Amino acid sequence: MNYYERPTPLQEQAYTEARQQFAEHLNQFKANCDAIRHIESNLPVTTNDVSRAALQSSGRIIQTDDGAQWQHAVDLTKITSVCHRRTAAGLEFAVVECLPLKSGDMKEVLNRGQDAGEVLQTFARDQRQVLNFWKNDVTAQIREYLEEKHPHQNMDIVVESFDIKLARDLSCREKLAQNHIHGVRI
């Protein structure tokens, strides 16, 4: 593909149509990238907040679907929280996802460990992988939509523009977060 090629009027129209059709997906993707960036950029503060809550044994009780009881420490997103509990081996931390369903909330432990910072880093890394899969899925959906809407037309430049936008959003946020974690300010 020639990246300097100008899109045709049909390709520009197809881009606008796809942008409207997938606006919610694109907005949700951006919001999730922002949420993970926020978690990564505030990792030391969040780790301290979680540790302080654990030492004070504060927080409401959350019972996960596996029957374990955890004390809420800090909200990470609208549906995920860091929790803690005391075990025979000492303090244990977990990221718990609470999904509201018609049949009741589903509360699942996404990851757990003895070190709050490692639990948070693992969660952020796993969420970045999910975002990468999501990026690929959205790009595939856009390609399929354009193939159905404009059969026998070359819409590669349109699909590629969405893929590049999503990849840049993800990689810029990842690079900013990595630089912040390592103490490099840009």
Q: Which amino acid is at 97?
A: E
CB-hemisphere CA count at 13 Å for 152?
Answer: 0
**Residue from 185, 173, 91, 73 nearest 127 by CA:** 173
**Residues of the chain where predicted confidence (pLDDT) is lower than 50:** 1, 173-186
* Both structure tokens of 51: 């540790």
**CA 61 → CA 68, 127, 173, distances in Å?**
10, 25, 33
Predicted confidence (pLDDT) per residue in 17-32, tens digit: 999 999 999 999 988 8
Between the two ends of the chain, the Cα-to-Cα distance in Å is 32
The SS3 of residue 112 is strand
Q: Which amino acid is at 71?
A: Q
Cα–Cα distance, 123 to 69 (Å, whole number): 20
Predicted confidence (pLDDT) per residue in 118-139, tens digit: 999 999 999 999 999 999 999 9
The whole-number pLDDT of residue 20 equals 97
pTM: 0.79
* Both structure tokens of 151: 């059969």
Cα–Cα distance, 8 to 94 (Å, whole number): 51
The whole-number pLDDT of residue 172 equals 57
